[in-house]
Amino acid sequence: MAAPGANYLNHDKSLWSWLTTVDHKRIGLMYLVAVSVAFLAAGVLALLVRVELIAPGQTIMSADTYNQVFTLHGVLMVFAFIIPAIPGALGNFVLPIQLGAKDVAFPRLNLASFYIYLVGMAFVLGALLIGEVDTGWTFYTPYSSAEGSNAVLMVTVGVFISGFASILTGMNFIVTVHKMRAPGLTWNRLPLFIWSIYATSIVQVLATPVIGITMVLLFLEKLTGIGIFDPALGGDPILFQHFFWFYSHPAVYIMILPAFGIISDVIAVFTRRPVQGYTFVALSSVAIAFLGFLVWGHHMFTSGQSAVSAIVFSLITYLIGIPTGVKVLNWVGTMYRGSIWLKTPMIYVLAFLFLFSIGGFTGIMLGVLSVDIHLHDTYFVVAHFHYVMMGGTVIAGLAGIHYWWPKMTGRMYNETMGQIAAAFIFVGFNITFFTQFVLGSQGMPRRYYDYVGVMDTMPYFETLHAISTYGSWILALGLFMVLGYLMASIWTGKKAPANPWGALTLEWTHTTPMPDPHNFTFQPIVTRGPYDYHLADEIFGDGGDGMGDGATVPSLAPEARPEVTPS
Amino acid sequence: MAHAAHTDAHHGDEHHGHHIIPFSLLAKVFGALVFLTGLTYVTAVYIPLGPLEVPIAIAIACTKAGLVVFVFMGLKWDNKVNLLAFSICTIIVLVFISITLLDTEYRGDFGNVDELPLDDRERIEQAIRDREEALNNPAAAAADTTAIETTTADTTATTP
Amino acid sequence: MSTTTAPATAPEAEGHAGHDHHPPHLKHYFVSSDQQFDASKMGMWLFLLTEVLLFSGMFVAYIVYRAWHPEVFVKMSELLNPFWGGFNTLVLLGSSFSVALAIHYAQKNDNKKLVMNLAITLFCAGIFMVVKYIEYTDKFSHGIGMGEFFDPTGSYAQYAIPYAKQFFSIYFVMTGIHGFHVVIGMGIFTWLLIRARKGHFNSEYYTPVELAGLYWHLVDIIWIFLFPLLYLI
């Protein structure tokens, strides 16, 4: 047992203890730092892309540089940031505590996954920086295999390696959820964050190996010309797209499903109501995970695949709308007659509901075969997936970071700054990407360096691009504010109580403000659901902060609470 | 207490040790596997089976794989969740194969795609054909009609 | 989320009166040996599923190209000797049997037979790789390699037809990745053999043997499919 007052951050402060830690909380923090760095780097690249497009013709970079910059942006955002972000950082930190476990099932594999991720990313970054890769993040053959620089080889190795990190995380979480739940924590008492991470993990385990073999084949195709994908050698480039999207479409659910979990948890806590339709919300995550395996061909409507498969893919794509709609409906239903507490995490949830709905509906539009023929590879698609990925995953990730920040760092961030930044992000985001819907529907192709050719017929392209670029600056300002005040809070923030939000899940009710190295002093025993506020009187009666000091809480607002240090 | 909650991990009598697969069963399965290997070799190399050759070879391979999975790997006695995971994996593999084939086997069928519904297209083409025929060869068309009429008349005349 | 708390150590003592209180292999974050064993086994199964899906990509490539060019695949499989393929199948089946027996004897605390069966498994894996080596060198000597190294010479020149290259690309990638797994398996069994000789395994703790066995069976299953697909049909 650790010394009194010790927590997972201060019980051993040496660098070596961090590098060799098997503590899921520390690994989660290391993931958080790594993915934040990736997000920062890829975000700066996105700003450069936007600046280049602010006016027709060359603005700040050459066409070749532009191709490399958007490739780097895509690869980093997808493989280095958004796939590992929520499972790796928040999932690692929160999931075992929410389960009432001392750690994940395989802590050493968990640490291995982090290092594998770093090695994979080192390969990817090295290749992209040294070797001038301009294939886009999808590496379509034959351009990637027959043309382009040999650095593609290094990227494929990097993606292959980082796949193992994803697999190990997924395996670990599935086994942990199955085998290490606290006494009384039945499947229908699992917090919805766990359900969604669980569904994500299923996808990670089942889909990621296919990108592995795809990368092996691409590697060999480029190295020795095995003729599987290269049409000049008798291969079939569309087969590459099948292989690639068999992973990469489920991978978009790896990106968005954890976000759903955060939204469910946060919305229940900040409306003080159980999530409406708990079972439906939980199972819809699993349904999305499996349906996600059946629709990969909707990325290939214009690729030359058969009309039969295009029609089938289009039909199944509509089905995805059902479980997603179930979720959004239930989230909105949860807020109805709830006692909504508009703190920063909840503001992000509201932003999510708005942005994700737009992203989702445009997704259904793009799933319509005939419409997609027109919109494929235009800015409409770019806007759609940014609404889902950035407006969905990143916004939900921000909600989650603000929600769990007091537990991670033991400090409260500046609430006013948080709300202002959220407003900047919401406004900036919409300005940036809504204009792209218009651009795309007018025919602006994605990945294009220039649009000078249409300036005489469609001069408003320049205006729209310029507005989009200005929006990206507002968005960036908001994000940098978040970075700033979160960092500042570590040193200057108010000390957080153990349960500042009055949440009912184990990470809030049964740990000290910053958790013990082994999470719990006592094995928690669960007797009710994760959002059963009507059954939680005894918790709030006991002070509600998990310290067992008997202090009652007059108001749940953190500023109204007495400062308590754990003994 | 902690014990009761780890529902997946604890199934009643599993506490008294794991299932030990008897030697005789392992030996029998090994024998069956060797036999099936011989069978697939013989059917493929010596017996001409024509179109059945591939399905038979696949069926034998699947049987062998099933024996290994359920007996050697002990899935028959294992936790049901492992069986579930394995089944899901198999289904996903079949999905991968079948949906990819849905493309590769029908590749190029965009030639069938028309801006008009099939019925309309047929009617229009028929009309065009009729018109061309009438324009190109009005005499023959007329002669044809008379010829048909005469034949019909003949047949009716001779039938009784 | 709870109303009661209990000391973390209490349930272990109560629930597992018959077991060792804290055996040396039991990690602190598990409640019992059973929980740890089940978790490890489930983790291994999940890992095996990823292996299945890894190979599934190759099988899809095989099926697609076979469906497109069946006559080429039939002709090319003439170049692979079904005798050696069948022999290797039997060798791997034998090693699967011996590894199942290894687990059987570990569960029965028969360390001598455990060691013997692990040694047999390792030996069979070695034979498999030797046969594979003979087959590969034979192919290479006739100019049959992967990708740009596919340039059949001499009596094999008649096989230089369109899409022959695809067949051998698939052959080399599939058997290559499979062979890589066999080599990894040999490493694992060497390690297990050393540990088993030191008496590390018994009926209470044989998790590594069990997991390695599962892995090895999967390697066997992959070969069960590769053999008819590549050599026979």
pLDDT in tens, A384-422: 999 999 999 999 999 999 999 999 999 999 999 999 999
Count how many residues are written for chain B.
160
What are the tens digits of pLDDT across the range B4-56?
A: 344 444 443 344 457 889 999 999 999 999 999 999 999 888 888 888 889 99
pLDDT surpasses 50 at A79: yes
Q: Which of B3, B5, B100 sits opposite A185 (nearest CB)?
A: B5
Percentage with pLDDT > 90 across chain A: 74
- The label of the residue with tokens 């594979």 reads C132
pLDDT surpasses 70 at A545: no
Cis bond before residue A142 (omega within 30° of 0): yes
What pLDDT sits at residue B124? 87
Closest-approach residue (CA) in chain C for B89:
C49
**Residue from A223, A228, A507, A545 to probe the interface with C (highest C Cβ count within 10 Å):** A228
Query: How far is the C-alpha of A111 from the C-alpha of A426, rounded, in Å?
Result: 35
Whether residue A309 and residue B102 make contact (CB cut-off 8 A), yes or no, is: yes
pLDDT band for position B113 (cuts 50, 70, 90): low
What are the tens digits of pLDDT across the range A466-477?
A: 999 999 999 999
Least confident of A86-95, A531-540, A550-559, B28-37: A550-559
What are the tens digits of pLDDT across the range A425-476?
A: 999 999 999 999 999 999 999 999 999 888 888 999 999 999 999 999 999 9
Collect all residues of chain A within an 8 Å Cβ-Cβ radius of residue C5: 510, 522-525
What pLDDT sits at residue B17? 56
Collect all residues of chain C within an 8 Å Cβ-Cβ radius of residue B53: 233
**Residue from A106, A161, A203, A224 to probe the interface with C (highest C Cβ count within 10 Å):** A224
First to last CA, chain A: 14
Q: Which of B5, B99, B113 sits opposite A309 (nearest CB)?
A: B99
Type of residue found at A48? L
What are the tens digits of pLDDT across the range B76-98?
A: 998 899 999 999 999 999 999 99
Q: Which of A280, A356, A354, A366 is nearest to A323 (CA)?
A: A280
What pLDDT sits at residue B118? 73
DSSP class per residue in A393-458: IIHHHHHHHHHHHHHHHSB---HHHHHHHHHHHHHHHHHHHHHHHHHHHTT-BTT-S--GGGTTT-
Structure tokens at A500: 């500042």
- Interface pTM, i.e. ipTM: 0.89
Query: How far is the C-alpha of A201 from the C-alpha of A138, rounded, in Å?
Result: 22
DSSP class per residue in A245-272: HHHHHHHHHHHHHHHHHHHHHHHHHHHT
What pLDDT sits at residue A551? 45
> What's the mean pLDDT in A546-566?
44
Structure tokens at A217: 């084949």
pLDDT surpasses 70 at B2: no
Q: Which of A178, A223, A504 sits opposite C42 (nearest CB)?
A: A178
Structure tokens at A391: 């407006």
pLDDT band for position A7 (cuts 50, 70, 90): confident
Q: How far is CA C85 from the centre of its chain?
A: 16
Q: Which of B92, B103, B107 sits opposite A206 (nearest CB)?
A: B92
Asked if A561 contacts A547 with a C-beta cutoff of 8 angstroms, the reply is no
Task: Give rounded-to-5 percent helix, strand, coil for chain C.
Answer: 75, 0, 25
Q: Which of C26, C40, C36 is nearest to C211 (CA)?
A: C40
Least confident of A129-133, A143-147, A484-488, A551-555: A551-555
Structure tokens at A326: 């179930």
Q: Which of C42, C64, C224 sits opposite B81 (nearest CB)?
A: C42
pLDDT band for position A556 (cuts 50, 70, 90): very low
Determine the 3-state secondary structure of A493 from DSSP.
coil
Please tell me if residue C15 touches chain A, with a CB cutoff of 8 Å. no
pLDDT band for position C15 (cuts 50, 70, 90): very low
Type of residue found at A461? F
- The label of the residue with tokens 């290092």 reads A115
Average pLDDT, chain C: 87
pLDDT band for position B108 (cuts 50, 70, 90): confident
Average pLDDT, chain A: 90
Subunit partners of chain A (3 or more CB pairs within 8 A)? B, C
Name, in order, each residue with C-beta under 8 angstroms of B111's C-beta and a sequence gap of 6 or more: none
Tell me how close the Cα of A8 comes to any Cα of chain B, in angstroms. 24
Name, in order, each residue with C-beta under 8 angstroms of A501's C-beta and a sequence gap of 6 or more: A269, A270, A343, A345, A403, A508, A556
Helix H or strand E encompassing A115: helix A107-131
**Cα Rg of chain A (Å, integer):** 24
Closest-approach residue (CA) in chain C for B73:
C214
What pLDDT sits at residue A537? 63
Please tell me if residue B10 touches chain C, with a CB cutoff of 8 Å. yes
Structure tokens at A120: 């994979």
Chains A and B form CB pairs within 8 A to the count of 77
Whether residue C32 and residue B3 make contact (CB cut-off 8 A), yes or no, is: yes
Whether residue C34 and residue B100 make contact (CB cut-off 8 A), yes or no, is: no
pLDDT band for position B144 (cuts 50, 70, 90): low
pLDDT surpasses 70 at A549: no
Please tell me if residue C177 touches chain A, with a CB cutoff of 8 Å. yes
Type of residue found at B111? G
Closest-approach residue (CA) in chain B for A207:
B92
What pLDDT sits at residue A38? 95
Query: How far is the C-alpha of C227 from the C-alpha of B40, rounded, in Å?
Result: 10
pLDDT band for position B112 (cuts 50, 70, 90): low
Question: Higher confidence at residue A3 or residue C157?
Answer: C157
Structure tokens at A53: 């497009």
Q: Is B127 exposed, middle or buried (0-12, 13-18, 19+ CB in 10 A)?
A: exposed
Whether residue C6 and residue A525 make contact (CB cut-off 8 A), yes or no, is: yes
Count how many residues are written for chain A.
567
> What's the mean pLDDT in A277-285?
94
- Chain A residues at the B interface, defined by Cβ less than 8 Å, are 178-186, 202, 206, 210, 236, 238-239, 242, 246, 293-294, 296-297, 304-309, 312-313, 523, 525-526
Closest-approach residue (CA) in chain A for C147:
A226
> What's the mean pLDDT in A293-313?
91
Q: Which of B1, B20, B61 sits opposite C104 (nearest CB)?
A: B20
pLDDT band for position C63 (cuts 50, 70, 90): very high
Asked if C63 contacts B105 with a C-beta cutoff of 8 angstroms, the reply is no
pLDDT surpasses 80 at C75: yes
What pLDDT sits at residue A540? 58
pLDDT surpasses 50 at B151: no
Tell me how close the Cα of B65 comes to any Cα of chain A, in angstroms. 20
Whether residue A525 and residue B1 make contact (CB cut-off 8 A), yes or no, is: yes
Whether residue B102 and residue A312 make contact (CB cut-off 8 A), yes or no, is: yes
What pLDDT sits at residue C93? 95
Asked if A296 contacts A242 with a C-beta cutoff of 8 angstroms, the reply is yes
Chains A and C form CB pairs within 8 A to the count of 155
Subunit partners of chain C (3 or more CB pairs within 8 A)? A, B
**Residue from B8, B68, B84 to probe the interface with C (highest C Cβ count within 10 Å):** B68
> What's the mean pLDDT in A246-273?
94
Structure tokens at A331: 């989230």
Type of residue found at A124? V
Helix H or strand E encompassing A524: strand A522-525
Query: What b/e string do you get for A6-45 counting C-beta neighbours within 10 Å, with b at 16 or more?
Result: bbbbeeeeeeeeeeebbbbbbbbbbbbebbbebbebbbeb
pLDDT surpasses 90 at A258: yes
pLDDT surpasses 90 at A488: yes
**Sign of the torsion angle spanned by Cα atoms A167, A171, A174, A177:** negative
Report if pTM > 0.95.
no
What are the tens digits of pLDDT across the range A185-220?
A: 999 999 999 999 999 999 999 999 999 999 999 999
Name, in order, each residue with C-beta under 8 angstroms of A248's C-beta and a sequence gap of 6 or more: A138, A211, A296, A299
**Residues A508, A33, A193: CA angle, nearest 5 degrees:** 35
Interface of B with A in 47-106 (CB under 8 A): 81, 88-89, 92, 95-96, 99-100, 102-106
Q: Which of C6, C35, C59 sits opposite B9 (nearest CB)?
A: C35
Q: Which of B26, B45, B54 sits opposite C101 (nearest CB)?
A: B26
Whether residue B5 and residue A307 make contact (CB cut-off 8 A), yes or no, is: no
Query: How far is the C-alpha of A459 from the C-alpha of A463, rounded, in Å?
Result: 8
Name, in order, each residue with C-beta under 8 angstroms of A505's C-beta and a sequence gap of 6 or more: A98, A191, A193, A265, A530, C1
pLDDT surpasses 70 at A543: no
H-only helix segments in A368-378? 369-375
pLDDT surpasses 80 at C223: yes
Interface of B with A in 96-125 (CB under 8 A): 96, 99-100, 102-110, 112-113
Query: How far is the C-alpha of A484 from the C-alpha of B120, rounded, in Å?
Result: 66
Name, in order, each residue with C-beta under 8 angstroms of A498's C-beta and a sequence gap of 6 or more: A508, A511, A512, A513, A545, A546, A547, A564, A566
Tell me how close the Cα of C16 comes to any Cα of chain A, in angstroms. 16
Please tell me if residue C140 touches chain A, with a CB cutoff of 8 Å. no
Asked if C106 contacts C98 with a C-beta cutoff of 8 angstroms, the reply is no
Query: How far is the C-alpha of A116 from the C-alpha of A168, rounded, in Å?
Result: 10
> What's the mean pLDDT in C133-162?
85
Closest-approach residue (CA) in chain C for A207:
C53
Query: How far is the C-alpha of A473 from the C-alpha of B41, rounded, in Å?
Result: 68
Tell me how close the Cα of C207 comes to any Cα of chain B, in angstroms. 11
What pLDDT sits at residue A402? 96
What pLDDT sits at residue C129? 95
Q: Which of B45, B2, C47, C103 is nearest to A101 (CA)?
A: B2
Q: Is A466 exposed, middle or buried (0-12, 13-18, 19+ CB in 10 A)?
A: middle
What pLDDT sits at residue A85? 93
pLDDT band for position A324 (cuts 50, 70, 90): very high
Asked if C185 contacts C75 with a C-beta cutoff of 8 angstroms, the reply is no
